[in-house]
Structure 1
Amino acid sequence: MFKKILFHKELSPKKKMKNSLLYLSRVRGAKKAWDKRYDRVLAANKKYSTPCESQVESDHEKLWSDFRRKADLTTLRVSKNISGVSNPKIIPEDIYVADIEPTLITDKSVDYISIKSFYNRWFPEGIFPKDLFHRIDGQYLDRNLEVSNYNELQRLAKQITYPVILKPNKDTYGGMDINIVNNAEELLSLANKRKNFVVQEKIKQHDFFEKFHPKSLNTIKLFLYKSVKNDQLHILSMALRMGKNGSLDNESAGGVSTFIRDDDSLNGYAVDKLGTKYLEHPNTGAPFDCKIPDLDRLRTLARKIGNKVFFARVFALDACYDNEGNWRIIELNTYGQSIRFAQYGGQPFFGEFTDEVIEHCKENHWALN
């Protein structure tokens, strides 16, 4: 890719130099981050470094050679040793971060739509959690985003039904700083420490999901892709995320995840953030071999929301099934997708669209613009 940047006819010499340095920085940063992660994965599971068949590794390196002279084989090997599936179209994590995602997300302003205080302004009420109060850039706002004040928050804190959720409304990931709040004193104490937050209803989940880990809201992560060829929206894959040992469902918080097959069944095992496999939930003993109910209705809802997302061709939704049998969307994520949920399940993240994504990113790479 460096050669393409340097010899690109439409870039000025100054732009070539600038883009080359930016690309080098991003490549080095991605490699450093994923080397660190996989060092931990392989320290916990040494057998995951076992090579795949030589032809598969050769095909893998060739497929991704436009982005790296010699693609790192670690993602391929770890994915194969977890899932048992060897597929050269598995995306190296560092290439996804440095090359693919920034090319498919053409405008950073798309992140505006992922600010949690705005969900119920962008989409019909009843899909996302009900808002109770907001603070944006230090300013207090009521549930309708009308200007309010701290006195109003104090009044509200005495009237609402607990528990509620207080979470950052921007710049957060992995369940960071999400609090289940049980009383007014706790709510006001947390609110005083943050310039940006949203207070939301606490959704009670359906018994089907409760059985896996009752102490967390267990969610479905859906990954969506808007085709670079015809703008058609596709659901790439889904995974069920569950808490463990009292944690949130996010893997970075200690949770586990299991890939969902095309027939809506779980794929028989879950993994934690280090790739360690579980054939049943370590706390409840719930097996990972059942079918998820009512997923067609979730797919319909996901497409309805996805068709209103612009300037990003890859993004994700977090969904839960509430105690009344309704699918609710918890979050919309535009950056930093966990492509390993699919790949540790044996499926390349972009599946049947891998070739078109590669071709598009070769010709329209962000560093060529």
Structure 2
Amino acid sequence: MYKRIILSKGLSTKEKIKRLLAYYFRLRGARIVWNKYWAKINKISPAFKQTAEPEIEKAHIRYWKPFRRKVNPASLRVGKNISGHASPKCIPEEVFMSDIEPTLNRTSSVEYLSYKSFYNHWFPGDMFPKDYLHNIDGEWLDHDLNSISMDQVKSIAETLIYPVVLKPNRDSYGGSNISFPKSSNELIELLEGKKNFLVQEKLTQHSFYNQFNSHGINSVRVNIYRSVADNQLHIVNLAMRMGVGGSLDNLTSGGIGVMIRKDGMMDGYALDGQGRKFLTHPDTGITFDKQIPDFENLKSISLQVAGKILYARIICLDLCYDSEGRWRMIEVNINGTTLMFAQFHGVPFFDEYTDEVREYCLRNHWTLKQ
């Protein structure tokens, strides 16, 4: 990719230097993050280092080499050793982080879409949890985003049904900085000195999800791709995420996830963030061979929401099936996409659309855009 930047005819020398430096630091960051991760899980499970079939590894390296002189086969090997099968089109995590995602979701407007305080204004109704209070850059706002005083905040807090959810209104990856205050006094105390957050209702999940883990919400991640060929939306993979031992459902918080097949059936095993395999839930012993309820409606609602999220080509939605049998949208994720729900089950993240994504990102790489 460095050579293509240098040879680009549409960039000035000064701009080429800027792009080369930007790419170098993004690539370096990706290497540091993923080398650390591979070393960690290989220490836990040394079998992950075993190579795949020679012809598959060669095809994998050949397929992704246009992005990288030296392709790291770790993503392929881990997926193969967990699932028992692998595709050469499995995306190396380092390539996704430094080349694919920033090319597909490059527009700066994308960042605006990740602000949770605006969800209920983009999507009226009860698709998203009710929001009660917001703070944006230190300013207090009510549910209609009208400016209010701290005294009004306290008055609203006294009227809420607890527990409620207090979370950052953006960048809450991995469930970080989320709390569940159980009273108005606890909420007000937690609000002290905070900026850029919202307070919303705490959803109650359906009994189907309760059987796996009852101490917190178990969500479904729906990964959607907006085609570079015709702008049509495609659900490329799905996963159910569950908490373990009191954790949130995010992998980084100690949760586990199981891929959902195209027919709505769970794929038989769940994984934690280190690639450890579970045939049953560690807390409840429930097997991962169930059909996701109301699956067609889940897909329909996800595509409906994604259709209103413009400028992004990778859209990752988190949904909850509530106690009344309704799919509720929890969060929209635009960056920091998790590939392992699909790829550690031996399926390329973009599935049948991998070829068009690869070709598009080579021709329209973020470092080459004028």
What range is the shorter-chain TM-score in? Answer: over 0.9
What does the per-residue CA deviation read over 1:25-74, in whole Å, with 9 as the maximum and x for residues that have no partner? 11111011001111111111111111000000000000001101121010
Q: Distance in 1 between matches of 2:203 and 2:172?
A: 20
Deviation, 1:257, is: 0.3
Describe the SS at the equivalent of 1:32: helix
Counterpart amino acid of 1:41? I
Are 1:13 and 2:13 an aligned pair?
yes
Describe the SS at the equivalent of 1:267: coil
Deviation, 1:294, is: 0.6
Q: Distance in 2 between matches of 1:365 and 1:126?
A: 38
Number of the residue aligned with 1:91? 91
Deviation, 1:273, is: 0.6
Deviation, 1:125, is: 1.9
Coordinate RMSD, CA, aligned: 0.8
Q: For 1:136-175, list aligned pairs within 5 A.
A: 136-175=136-175
| % identity of equivalent residues | 45
Are 1:244 and 2:254 an aligned pair?
no
What does the per-residue CA deviation read over 1:245-289, in whole Å, with 9 as the maximum and x for residues that have no partner? 001000111100000011111111101010000100000101001
Deviation, 1:166, is: 0.7
Deviation, 1:133, is: 0.9
Number of the residue aligned with 2:203? 203
Deviation, 1:221, is: 0.2
Q: Distance in 1 between matches of 2:303 and 2:289?
A: 26
Counterpart amino acid of 1:139? E
Describe the SS at the equivalent of 2:175: coil
* TM-score (structure 2 length as normaliser): 0.99
Number of the residue aligned with 1:325? 325
Q: Distance in 2 between matches of 1:177 and 1:8?
A: 43
Q: Distance in 2 between matches of 1:211 and 1:194?
A: 35
Q: Which runs of 5+ in 1 are unaligned?
A: none
Q: For 1:170-181, list aligned pairs within 5 A.
A: 170-181=170-181
Number of the residue aligned with 2:270? 270
Q: For 1:28-177, list aligned pairs within 5 A.
A: 28-177=28-177
Counterpart amino acid of 2:330? I
Deviation, 1:295, is: 1.1
Deviation, 1:108, is: 2.0
Q: Distance in 2 between matches of 1:268 and 1:106?
A: 35
Counterpart amino acid of 2:53? E
Counterpart amino acid of 2:183? N
Deviation, 1:109, is: 2.1
Number of the residue aligned with 1:363? 363
Q: Distance in 2 between matches of 1:359 and 1:171?
A: 30
Q: Distance in 1 between matches of 2:315 and 2:365?
A: 18
Counterpart amino acid of 1:90? C
Counterpart amino acid of 1:180? F
Contact 2:254 2:272 in 1 (8 A): yes
Q: How many correspondences in the alignment?
A: 369
Number of the residue aligned with 1:295? 295
Counterpart amino acid of 1:36? K
Q: Distance in 2 between matches of 1:265 and 1:108?
A: 37
Deviation, 1:92, is: 0.3
Counterpart amino acid of 1:293? P
Describe the SS at the equivalent of 2:166: strand
Q: Distance in 1 between matches of 2:283 and 2:334?
A: 32
Contact 2:166 2:179 in 1 (8 A): yes
Number of the residue aligned with 1:218? 218
Counterpart amino acid of 1:233? L
Q: Distance in 2 between matches of 1:121 and 1:113?
A: 12
Describe the SS at the equivalent of 2:367: helix
Describe the SS at the equivalent of 1:319: strand
Q: Distance in 2 between matches of 1:248 and 1:85?
A: 30
Deviation, 1:85, is: 1.2
Deviation, 1:6, is: 0.6
Q: Which runs of 5+ in 2 are unaligned?
A: none
Contact 2:172 2:178 in 1 (8 A): no
Contact 2:213 2:284 in 1 (8 A): yes
Q: Distance in 2 between matches of 1:142 and 1:363?
A: 46
Number of the residue aligned with 2:314? 314
Deviation, 1:184, is: 1.0
Q: For 1:176-191, list aligned pairs within 5 A.
A: 176-191=176-191
Deviation, 1:172, is: 2.2
Q: Distance in 2 between matches of 1:272 and 1:74?
A: 17
Deviation, 1:310, is: 1.2
Counterpart amino acid of 1:164? V
Describe the SS at the equivalent of 1:179: coil
Counterpart amino acid of 1:99? D
Counterpart amino acid of 1:154? K
Counterpart amino acid of 1:143? H
What does the per-residue CA deviation read over 1:187-234, in whole Å, with 9 as the maximum and x for residues that have no partner? 001111311111100100000001111011000000010000000000
Q: Distance in 1 between matches of 2:337 and 2:284?
A: 28
